[in-house]
Structure 1
């Protein structure tokens, strides 16, 4: 079967055939939301195929991490949401330790052939915007279902029925997690998922696990009270509402609908269609009257992706909020919690994840305040800051991206962030973020960070709009010089 993305059908099938022949599998995955959902999709597929497996997570797939994986003594290792860029290291370890690597990734591949390698970039698809790590893993999971003879499945996500049972049997129900991964990897930042992602969305809708709609494109529609939803909506800044608590309240109080219940503000998810239309229309009118550019106003509306089996008004209902919850787990050394939530734990794991999310939000807020208050150092083609140990290495990239456009931080130049690595005193974490407008002008941060890091005896890579690296402590200045020149070359081309 070609699967939902025919271009990758043969690669997904080759990977699935190798997994189906394995006695047991070591599943190794990245720690962000895309990595966690990739692991959950893979774990679900292996469990349903009755293939024994163990899961490990890594912050980055360097030589030390690959050595640990190789020493685990598994004949088959399935790498999800990383591995393509480290094929040379993996191949060397595989030869030494005697394991076969299976890779489902969407990052820039190294120039090394691999027999079991599914990556959209190998077939001309954009791994930064068209297919995530979780989406690529989903394609392998779909193919794996075809490789395994199974008894009729029982449904665990809906009230049962032929459609739901069939979706579980062929792994189409895992499309919901694949979409959470794509959204968490910022692939819906243009307002909706595109490219190969659309085919996965269609399968999720058909399977009854996803619901889509044209909606207000603001973060927090499920959980934030309406004034907070508007106050914190800063991607499209509306004077008198964005970053203005009293202004947001006055705006809502001026509408001719009851937006409070028992004295408490309702959430966007609590409103009916007519109420949503009233608020959205008024918000658009306010934006026009305050001179917000038309292209920015268009960004107030997008496609929402809701997980049909999750309760309305919870973080798990909305793909964007779900992905943020996941980021709050693995980035604080609790990948096991995020994985458990993805696999259906709605008791202890979910409560622990929510606790971690509260801490995560505080850390992000403090980090953004730090960057905004202290400012950035401008270079000719980029801007940068060094957080040292004041911002965790696992979230400094998120902070950098969220700070773009704040006072004194230019959205027209990529931002590069440095942070101390907790487990390597002689190394520094580098994260870089750009905008899709800069990518359209030629920016490719993955290429920049890879080349600039290697020039200072480090290593890096990633996507065009977001990338990361590790460089030796003390070489940050040299790194910036290389990166600044490379970005200038890209944008001037």
Structure 2
């Protein structure tokens, strides 16, 4: 059976065959939503193949972290959602005989290379918009299932907490790992790859496999966050990506709007959420919302942004954050960014008891911290250079969430959407973390924040990278101003000094 991405099939097969020859594997992954889902996809595939493994997470795969990995007694290390950008360091350890790396990543590779390197960028596929880290892990998982079947080494071990197949189709999807497509989509959505309201390229092929496997459902729907869990008034009030006067950021206005639609908005004294509305009720709200936007003078291209493709995890309960790919990814972000990657991984692997409850507690804390951070940035404002805008949160915003805060603050009063934003937060006494966020519109004009962060950070003795629309770096604290100067100049060059 051919894999989902033909261009990657040969390399994925080589990686899978090597893993199947191992006695055991160390699985190392990043901590964001894409990293957690990457790890979960890989862990599920390894366990199903009967391969013993241990999982570790790293906030940043730097020389120190790689040194610690090399100090373990594992002969093979599977890196997911990072590793490509650190190949120069990894290759040195490989040459020294410390371990054999297998990499399933989508970030810009370093100059070095290795035999078992699965990255879409090596095969002409955009890793920032067409395939996430979880997508690369999914391609590897599919290859593992096929290689294991052909070699007769496929295991029968059940992944802890994983739903059991109830029919032949589900059993087949599990046997060839197509059921893991749902997690891959959560990773892609969490990595902001749903540009223009939907997933494209290789991601779309994974979506198709998930739909075929019965673990995903797609539909044209309102492109608002919180359709599964937010009460209807809050859904509309907080939908600030498309600013509709009298509704967005206006709780009373959102209530008045809904009251005028003649719908049953509460049941048993509780506000209904979007996911529990009938198709007719959804159409009523959507039509009225578009009409309100038109009469309020919202530009046509912004009104188009109200509609997108929804990605629903078909086996999860309606009205829970696990049902919606976007809400699922936010829940995951709220775990590892607070040093509880184990909780996020547990949820991905099917723990619906202790891990899910702890994840929800962390999500509530995460939302409070994001809200406080956005208020801080909006209140204090940003400093504008010629081509970038920036703020320094110091110790007031965690360095693990400062990039999310920056992205969410864009568009608020005084914070422009027409230039990228740089967000600084203290990492330790000597270094600061800087996160950069742009827009897909700026990327289309030539912005590549991966290059910006990489070149500007290295110019001041730091290091960084990422994707064109979102990237990060660590730089010496005393070189912050110099870093901003370099970043501003590089963005100016990319955007033609416009």
- Normalising by the residue count of structure 2, what TM-score does the alignment of the two structures yield? 0.97
**What is the deviation of 1:96?**
3.0
Question: In the aligned structure 2, how far is the partner of 1:389 from the partner of 1:279?
Answer: 42
* Partner residue, 1:253: 259
- 1:405-444 → structure 2 map (5 Å cutoff): 405-421=411-427, 424-444=428-448
* Partner residue, 1:16: 16
Aligned residues of 2:28 and 2:39 also touching (Cα < 8 A): yes
* Partner residue, 1:98: 98
- 1:200-349 → structure 2 map (5 Å cutoff): 200-349=206-355
SS of corresponding position for 2:195: coil
Q: Where do 5+ consecutive residues of structure 1 fail to align?
A: none
Aligned residues of 2:85 and 2:108 also touching (Cα < 8 A): yes
**What is the deviation of 1:425?**
1.6
Aligned residues of 2:16 and 2:147 also touching (Cα < 8 A): yes
**What is the deviation of 1:191?**
0.4
SS of corresponding position for 1:84: coil
Q: Which whole-Å deviations, capped at 9, do the CAs of 1:365-393 have from their partners, x for residues lacking one?
A: 00000000000000000000000010000
**What is the deviation of 1:218?**
0.3
1:462 corresponds, among 463, 466, 474, to 466
Question: In the aligned structure 1, how far is the partner of 2:352 from the partner of 2:436?
Answer: 34
* Partner residue, 2:84: 84
**What is the deviation of 1:492?**
0.3
Q: Where do 5+ consecutive residues of structure 2 fail to align?
A: none
The RMSD of aligned alpha carbons is: 1.3
* Partner residue, 1:473: 477
- Normalising by the residue count of structure 1, what TM-score does the alignment of the two structures yield? 0.98
Question: In the aligned structure 2, how far is the partner of 1:401 from the partner of 1:14?
Answer: 38
Question: In the aligned structure 2, how far is the partner of 1:346 from the partner of 1:66?
Answer: 33
- 1:161-180 → structure 2 map (5 Å cutoff): 161-180=167-186
**What is the deviation of 1:223?**
0.3
Question: In the aligned structure 2, how far is the partner of 1:438 from the partner of 1:80?
Answer: 28
* Partner residue, 1:404: 410
**What is the deviation of 1:113?**
2.0
Question: In the aligned structure 2, how far is the partner of 1:251 from the partner of 1:263?
Answer: 19
Aligned residues of 1:154 and 1:165 also touching (Cα < 8 A): no
Q: Which whole-Å deviations, capped at 9, do the CAs of 1:64-109 have from their partners, x for residues lacking one?
A: 0100111111000000000000000111122335210000000001
* Partner residue, 1:488: 492
* Partner residue, 1:140: 140
Q: Which whole-Å deviations, capped at 9, do the CAs of 1:206-248 have from their partners, x for residues lacking one?
A: 0011111111110000000000000000000100000000000
Question: In the aligned structure 2, how far is the partner of 1:94 from the partner of 1:333?
Answer: 29
Aligned residues of 1:2 and 1:10 also touching (Cα < 8 A): no
Question: In the aligned structure 2, how far is the partner of 1:428 from the partner of 1:5?
Answer: 38
**What is the deviation of 1:151?**
6.8
- Structure 1 residue 4 corresponds to structure 2 residue 4: yes
Question: In the aligned structure 2, how far is the partner of 1:473 from the partner of 1:96?
Answer: 33
SS of corresponding position for 1:484: helix
